[in-house]
Chain A
Amino acid sequence: MSEQIVLLVQLNENEILRVENLSMHFGGLKAVEQLTFSINEHEIFGLIGPNGAGKTTVFNCITQFYKPSQGRVLFRTKQGQTEDLVSQKVHNIIRKGLVRTFQNVELVSELSLMDNVLVGGHIDFKSSGFSQALRLPKARREEKAMREKAERILAFMGIDHLKDAMAGGQPYGIRKKVEMARTLMCDPKLIILDEPAAGLNDVETQQLAETIREVRDSYNCAILLVEHDMRLVMEICDRVCAISFGKFLACDTPENIQKNSLVQEAYLGEKED
């Protein structure tokens, strides 16, 4: 009985996500091993590590694209309960209030920016397929409301003038913004950004930093990002977790992480003296 209670550990009051003893093995390869960290509400949290450290694998385990070999992913859902995401289907994760972007921007190139953002509102359509097929008044109202919401988000991201343009012809920076806009459609509690600065130039990266902060403040959500651009990470993250070869190194403020000898070793190699 007491064991049961231990298993049902709840999140601390200000935590939104806790990854607990997470392990992911692909055959003999241990991509992630016994990783534990937690993210607080309203926090910008960075996950860093050298190439091949298993950052994206951690992402995929949190969003259930991979089912972890071991461990739990506790999340405080939009509905206010604490749930272990591992038992959830991958397409239900967004309903809990957790949404992600992709390293290689996954938009539908043949759709307008508006429609691409509306894809993010997929789960919030309540009217039945029947009433949508006939465009009954209820479905019509809902579609209109969603379009207005999408327009507001596009304006927030500063790209509403492009709403009817096809996503395919847009430059990379715009496409990244659209992907971020899409995540905002579901009123998320936690947004996971997979290398948001990859492929952006210095100016765009600076803008991105601003945008990420604005998103956090205006939409009142937490943000977890995986990033190689250390300047961005050090600038915007409240806390950073460093991993290497799937193992936990340190989790601290950006300044302390920079000074951490384990992290330095992982990135630069062992000191020879």
Chain B
Amino acid sequence: MKQDSSLTKISKSPYLRFVLFGLILSMLPALTSGGILKTSWIGIIGGTIIYSIAALGLNLLLGYSGLISLGTAGFMGLGAYISAYVTGNMGLPWEVGILAAVIIPVILGVLIGLASLRMEGLYLGIVTLCVSEVLRKTFDELEPITGGFSGKSAEYPTLLGTLKLNQSTTFILLCVVFVLMMILTYHLANGQLGRALNAMRGSNVAAQAMGVSLLKYRLIAFALATGYASLAGALYAHFIKFVYPSTWTLPLSLVILAIIVIGGLRSIYGTFVGALIVYALPDLVLKRIPIIGDINGLSYVFSGILIILVVLFYPGGSVKVFDDIKRLLKKLFKRRVKENV
């Protein structure tokens, strides 16, 4: 009995859950090298993690503060190029690259936050979309830095100047960063900041009456969203090892948006579930189905249908499916106990 209570205590600590989650994820390279899973899984799940990080940021913005951004892709691209440039052309360490790749976009994000004070809803979406498109065009044209249409290559990260990583170890690094970002998000979302953002979404007027400065918290929300997105972009550059301008277009922003809608607004695990469904599932399953799998752009059709289904049947996101399953199991279990008695 005593053991049981300490076990439930452990399973209730959010930190342990996050770490456990990260540990399970980081077993993937071992599984592929053992021949249990295909090597392509590393690339796909790695991409899922990167998308999840960007989606976590958008979740803080859209899920908590209720502000929309269609510019996620632009900021991911900006982060990717900055990191690739700083490490490749300037020869600076990987850590500096990541730092630069986060700080510069965040400054830009704050500027957009200023614009958000004057507009909401669709109009804000349009402005962020424009910024993203301007960035994408810049990636095309600014050849000396971005390599233009032919793209720009980057290397796997070298930690602290000595530890050179390969694909598997970079994947583990992704897992570590992801867990850290999950914990950070958990802290932010469940503290004073999260409540202030929530209050703002609920009602601007009430938030102000409670002492929440709209200016300050909108800027923070935008800074966070761009920070997460550009971090994801920078990780992308060093994981995929190549950055093309055509990656950072509107469809990518919409995919990130689909991830949080399908996965679940304001849910950390939901974001990962969403990324799995939207990004990994088409690659792992759909493309293997004969005939249907050959259709171009199938994954968009798939996520489109999913959005409709989720909004209709699980407005809280597909992560709520797990809650329902849990409740169902509990019911079954209880019934069995009763029968036994």
Write out the residue numbers on chain B whose beta carbons fall within 8 Å of the beta carbon of A107.
Answer: 202, 206
Is the CB–CB distance between B188 and A133 below 8 Å?
A: yes
Number of interface residues of B (CB under 8 A): 25
What is the chain B residue whose CB lies nearest that of A95? B211
Is the CB–CB distance between A108 and B191 below 8 Å?
A: no
Write out the residue numbers on chain B whose beta carbons fall within 8 Å of the beta carbon of A90.
Answer: 208-209
Contact among A108, A133, A134, A135 for B198, CB-based, below 8 A: A108
Number of interface residues of A (CB under 8 A): 34
Is the CB–CB distance between B202 and A106 below 8 Å?
A: yes
Known contacts A110-B266, A119-B196; is-contact A91 B214 (Cβ 8 Å): yes
CB distance from A108 to the nearest CB of B (A): 4
User: How far apart sit A94 and B266, CA to CA, in the bound complex (Å)?
Assistant: 28
- Compute the total of residue contacts between A and B using a CB distance below 8 Å: 87
Q: Give B196-208 as 1s and 0s: 1 = Cβ < 8 Å from A's Cβ atoms.
A: 1011011101111
Is the CB–CB distance between B196 and A133 below 8 Å?
A: no
CB distance from A107 to the nearest CB of B (A): 7
Write out the residue numbers on chain A whose beta carbons fall within 8 Å of the beta carbon of B188.
Answer: 132-133
What is the chain A residue whose CB lies nearest that of B216? A91
Is the CB–CB distance between A94 and B209 below 8 Å?
A: yes
Is the CB–CB distance between B198 and A122 below 8 Å?
A: no
User: How far apart sit A100 and B206, CA to CA, in the bound complex (Å)?
Assistant: 9
Contact among B184, B187, B205 for A65, CB-based, below 8 A: B205
Known contacts A65-B205, A110-B198, A129-B193; is-contact A134 B187 (Cβ 8 Å): yes
Is the CB–CB distance between A92 and B193 below 8 Å?
A: no
B210 interface contact, C-beta 8 A:
yes
List A72-124 residues whose CB lies under 8 Å from chain B.
89-95, 99-100, 102, 106-111, 115, 118-120, 122-123
Write out the residue numbers on chain B whose beta carbons fall within 8 Å of the beta carbon of A91.
Answer: 207-209, 211-214
List A25-71 residues whose CB lies under 8 Å from chain B.
63, 65
A243 interface contact, C-beta 8 A:
no
B320 interface contact, C-beta 8 A:
no
Known contacts A133-B187, A134-B187, A139-B191; is-contact A108 B210 (Cβ 8 Å): no
Contact among A94, A102, A108, A133 for B199, CB-based, below 8 A: A108
User: How far apart sit A40 and B209, CA to CA, in the bound complex (Å)?
Assistant: 22
User: How far apart sit A23 and B289, CA to CA, in the bound complex (Å)?
Assistant: 72
Contact among B187, B202, B205, B210 for A122, CB-based, below 8 A: B210
Interface centre among B184, B208, B210 (most CB of A within 10 A): B210
User: How far apart sit A65 and B203, CA to CA, in the bound complex (Å)?
Assistant: 13
A267 interface contact, C-beta 8 A:
no
User: How far apart sit A133 and B182, CA to CA, in the bound complex (Å)?
Assistant: 11
B195 interface contact, C-beta 8 A:
yes
A125 interface contact, C-beta 8 A:
yes
CB distance from B272 to the nearest CB of A (A): 20
B162 interface contact, C-beta 8 A:
no
CB distance from B222 to the nearest CB of A (A): 15
CB distance from A70 to the nearest CB of B (A): 23
CB distance from A150 to the nearest CB of B (A): 11
List B238-271 residues whose CB lies under 8 Å from chain A.
266
Shortest beta-carbon contacts, A-B, top 4: A106-B206, A108-B202, A123-B211, A94-B211
Can you give 24 contacting A-B residue pairs, CB < 8 Å?
A: A65-B209, A89-B213, A91-B208, A91-B212, A92-B211, A99-B209, A108-B201, A108-B202, A108-B203, A109-B202, A110-B266, A118-B195, A119-B196, A119-B198, A120-B210, A122-B199, A122-B210, A133-B188, A134-B187, A135-B191, A139-B191, A143-B191, A143-B192, A186-B211
